Amino acid sequence: MYRYVFKRLLFLIPTILGVTLIIYAVMSITPGDPGRSMLGTSAPQADVDAYNEALGYNLPFFQKYLNYLIKMIFHQDFGISYFTKLPVFQEIWPRFLVTIKLAFFGIILSTLVGVPFGIYAAVKQYSAFDTITSLVAFFMAAFPAFVLGLMFLYIFALKLNLLPSYGIATFAHYIMPAMAISIPPAAQNMRFTKSSMLEAIRQDYVRTARAKGAPERTVIWKHTLRNALLPVVTQIGLNLGMLIAGAVVVERIFSIPGIGSLIVDRISYKDEPVIIAGTILISITFTIVMLIVDILYAYIDPRIRAKYAKLKG
């Protein structure tokens, strides 16, 4: 098992290198430079050039990329924001934590709602509950988070005056954004769990368990659910990654200072250090989430555990 985890951890290295390389390449081909952004339109070109020179902006692409990697890996230095002159890490870390918090709320809500509803809908297939939840899930999966966000703002903040419309100061501030961000994945989870359960229910081993007289509860929880969970776990992991990377829309609507909105804001100023570091952080998180999903796979599926135990033996 440790071997498996180690192997997956090793995959992080090429992933991060690939991500940094792509982001660097993209930022390099877009026009504009930090000197002009920082010094403004009225600064003489000579001063702009000197500013860019001091930042190392004019270095050849691979040299610039290599310098960045060395600083990042050996000194944990992501550079200084062109826009605020603050260390990049100081800028992105608090915002990253906010986004992570929001994404976790979202994933917990979407899982707590989507998975049980999916299981029950599968167990009670063709019942009224199944029909209604499937219909609702169908609609909710199609609702973009920003529409839900604006709807919630209108209903809960403006009309009912129950929840604050802005910020992250208290738990109450997180309710609407977490709901907005979690409903579409909850609907997806529900549909995914249901179809996965239905597939598992039809398997021979379930029929065998029933034929052997196992109680229905055992059949569902022990034999069906455990097998049906594998693709659902993958889906939840993917959802978490998408929530982190895609929280920007909800962050902007609810004025949440997350990393997504920071990156979008700084694109306008071509604040490369912040854009690159923010994207790298999101990529690393996504990769780690997928690693956890893989480990959970091994935890849920004895076949994977057995495979690595065999290799060890």
Partner 1 sequence: MKKTISYLLILVMLVTLFTGCGAQKDPAEPAATPGSSEPTGDKILHLRKTSSLQSTDWEATTNTTDMQVVWVQVFEGLYTIDEAKGGYQNCLAEKIDVSEDGKIYTVTLVDAKFQNGDQMKASDVVFSYNRAMQNSRFNYVTSMIDKIEAKDDKTVVFTLKYPYSAISHTFWSIKISSEREVTEAGDSFGTTPHTAGTGPYYISEYDVASGLKLKAFEDYWRGPANIKDVEYRIISEDAAAVIAFENGELDYMSDAPLAEWDSLKVSSGENNSLTKGNNIRFLGINYLSPTNNNILGNKAVREAIFYAINRDNVNIAATEGLGDPAYEYMPHEYVATSPSYLDGNFELYEYNLEKAKQILKDAGFTDADIAAGIDVGTLTTYGAGTGEKAKQAQVIQANLAEIGIKCEVYVAEAAQITPRLYSQDYDLCIFGDSGNYDFNNIRQQVHSESTGMYVVKYADPNSPLDYKKIESLVDQGVATDDVAKRLEIYTELWAMVMDSATILPLVHLPVGIVWSDELDPGGLCPTYYHIYNFKWVE
Contact pick of 117, 254, 286, 297 for partner 1 (by CB under 8 A): 254
Does residue number 108 form part of the binding site for partner 1 (CB under 8 A)? yes
Q: Which helix (H) or strand (E) segment is 195 a member of?
A: helix 171-201
Closer residue to partner 1 (CB): 43 or 69: 43
Residue with tokens 């917990």: 108
Closer residue to partner 1 (CB): 66 or 155: 155
Does residue number 226 form part of the binding site for partner 1 (CB under 8 A)? no
Shortest approach of partner 1 to residue 36 CB, angstroms? 6
- Cβ atoms within 10 Å, residue 61: 12
Is residue 122 within 8 A of residue 198, CB to CB? The reply is yes
Does residue number 42 form part of the binding site for partner 1 (CB under 8 A)? yes
CA distance 160 to 164: 11
Distances (CA, A) of 173 to 166, 202, 257: 7, 44, 12
Number of residues that bind partner 1 (CB under 8 A): 56
Contact pick of 64, 194, 223, 270 for partner 1 (by CB under 8 A): 270
Contact pick of 21, 69, 157, 288 for partner 1 (by CB under 8 A): 157
Contact string (CB under 8 A) for partner 1, positions 189-208, x = contact = --------------------
Does residue number 268 form part of the binding site for partner 1 (CB under 8 A)? yes
Closer residue to partner 1 (CB): 56 or 94: 94
Contact pick of 18, 22, 32, 142 for partner 1 (by CB under 8 A): 32
Contacts for 296-302: CB closer than 8 Å, 24+ residues apart? 296/233, 296/237, 297/230, 297/233, 297/234, 298/1, 298/4, 300/226, 300/229, 300/230, 300/233, 301/230
Contact string (CB under 8 A) for partner 1, positions 46-65, x = contact = -xx-----------------
- Cβ atoms within 10 Å, residue 41: 7
- Cβ atoms within 10 Å, residue 86: 12
Q: Dihedral, CA atoms, 146, 147, 148, 154, nearest 10 degrees?
A: 110
Shortest approach of partner 1 to residue 134 CB, angstroms? 28
Closer residue to partner 1 (CB): 48 or 245: 48
Contact string (CB under 8 A) for partner 1, positions 73-102, x = contact = ----------xxxx----x--xx-xx--x-
Is residue 99 within 8 A of residue 247, CB to CB? The reply is yes
Question: For residue 171, how far is the Cα from the chain centroid?
Answer: 21
Is residue 251 within 8 A of residue 178, CB to CB? The reply is no
> Contact positions toward partner 1, by CB under 8 A?
30-33, 36-45, 47-48, 83-86, 91, 94-95, 97-98, 101, 104-105, 108, 150, 153-154, 157-158, 161, 164-171, 173-174, 252-255, 257, 261, 265, 267-270
